Chains A and B, each alone.
Chain A
């Protein structure tokens, strides 16, 4: 592991985190990408932009949300003291809204009238449709038809909010394919359209910008744990698809060497079968505007990912995670579908909190390591979203996996 003075300085001026990141997009988009970068730099330096962002987070999203001491999960695991960062309590039910608030303010600042976005689980689509409703902007959401089927409640929510949901049927019809179609839309409507990317991936400046907007998660955790426990956490655990909830939690703590940081990818059916663990099972490549770890074959063709959780079902990961992986600062592990489903049940039954299947991956990993940790070990799990959207998937999975006395 290389030792750096800071892990928080990236990206460089070209949008690179080490060899990762960059701007690998069609030339048609380059002038606009450069314009987004410029507009974001100017917004970032503008106290009025920051004030409006913070005001909306407080009054509209409902921040700060609690850092909740999960007494019964702690007792059940029998080791580390478990805290849940309650992103599920945000307006729209997940962390995705934090980034959408930031980017919609930027899109308005740039004078864009039409917003497009991709969505996997539908949480980012709902959050995007929500902010478009709030600001009266046209909204088009690309969503894989496989995901539309397994996240129907979110599809209805988007439509109720006034968004047009465009089904994507190419490839496996999941998040990767939705992102392809969103990029095709953007190339075709470059003059009036803003692409509101939902995770810490895509061409520069998106990975850094989305991280900045999501860092409110870790910033709040720092204040809250100091108030509640008088010291920093010993470990942070978050699930990773593209990696925005994880990056938001991790980034403010990257330069705290005492804090162990763990990202949890989706191992799907298992790492030797279909999965979505890009860092564990992939290698560096270029897709969707950035260089990062990708699931791919020897020919550089992108592999289909699989996860029971639509939000993690992506063959790539944000480039900063790839860099944090290679630099050794963050540990990356993976959790299988059935382990996530079990953790989902644990959290629901023991805490009365229905977690998103995505977040259940983080809980499942905590369940693995917490028992062996001392009782004064402070572990923060990012409960990135609520699981109402997943009930039909869970019902199906419990039929398949084990009924566990639940039915």
Chain B
């Protein structure tokens, strides 16, 4: 059983949702990023999304754009990203890690080789923002062969005719992008999120994690009542940049408290 599936089974047994946290690999530099990454599980992160820095993050707002720039300026790369994961795995064999980013660095690495190398490093799944189902065939078979999950993104524009196309490749969980927009901007209403999650569940039994626009423990708790997971990215990345690693982990702790209390 994959780490992702095991984690969601476990959370289901506990009747609570997952806190999924995003940080950018190599931000603000490699050592500080490794320390934050290693500290996330103890702070309450149930799953970790690790951003793969890219020069042209077309779907990201300012906070994550800047995180990527800091990481690249500090020597970040896809290779360094896998090394961060491998180092994390020395102390944590349980927490799933999903790499999130854009396709070109993976294409440059070679999709087949990358799938194998990422699995070896201890990566559990990939989210590739600019690889819709129409193009995903060039990567997904290699992920399957490496026993890695392809986490698909569904959005407010994924209607009932589009959802089956998107979900055809899905495994692990489904990431619902709750607003039509870039990361770190607006937030969807609780009603809209609940409706969207229910609609996705009419098409799949996979857990649904909701992201985009979730910044506070209260917002995370609201989402945790409607979905199997709440994803927080820009808020953590911003605190890391402005206040440092300790405060970023403190934010994760308070988000985790919100998520854990949500269904009580």
Chain A residues in contact with chain B, CB under 8 A? 14, 22-32, 170-171, 176, 180, 183-184, 187-191, 284-289, 291, 294, 296, 298-302
Contacts and interface: CB of A to CB of B under 8 A. Distances in A.
Contacts of B133: 30
A187 B180 contact: yes
Contacts, number: 114
A28 B78 CA distance: 25
B59 A286 contact: no
B162 A31 contact: yes
Interface string B164-190: 001000000000010011100100000
B58 interface: yes
Interface stretch (B35-43, B103-111, B116-124, B256-264): B103-111
Nearest to B128: A24
A158 B186 CA distance: 29
B77 A23 contact: no
Contacts of B61: 184
Nearest to A28: B155
21 contacts: A14-B134, A27-B153, A27-B158, A28-B59, A28-B181, A29-B157, A30-B134, A31-B158, A180-B58, A187-B180, A188-B180, A188-B181, A188-B182, A188-B185, A189-B180, A284-B107, A286-B104, A286-B107, A294-B104, A296-B104, A300-B104
Contacts of B231: none
B109 A28 contact: no
B55 A28 contact: no
B65 interface: yes
A26 to B, nearest CB: 5
Interface of B: 54-61, 65, 72, 77-79, 102-109, 129-135, 152-159, 162, 166, 177, 180-182, 185
Given A23-B132, A184-B59, A299-B78, A28 B105 contact: no
Of B59, B72, B107, B153, most A-chain CB atoms within 10 Å: B59
A180 B156 contact: no
Contacts of A183: 58-59
B59 A299 contact: no
Contacts of B104: 285-287, 294, 296, 300, 302
B176 to A, nearest CB: 10
Given A299-B78, A300-B107, A302-B55, A27 B185 contact: no
A346 to B, nearest CB: 37
Contacts of B131: 24
B180 A28 contact: yes
Contacts of A170: 65
B132 A191 contact: no
A285 B102 CA distance: 11
Contact of B154 (A27, A176, A184, A298): A27
A331 to B, nearest CB: 27
A16 B65 CA distance: 29
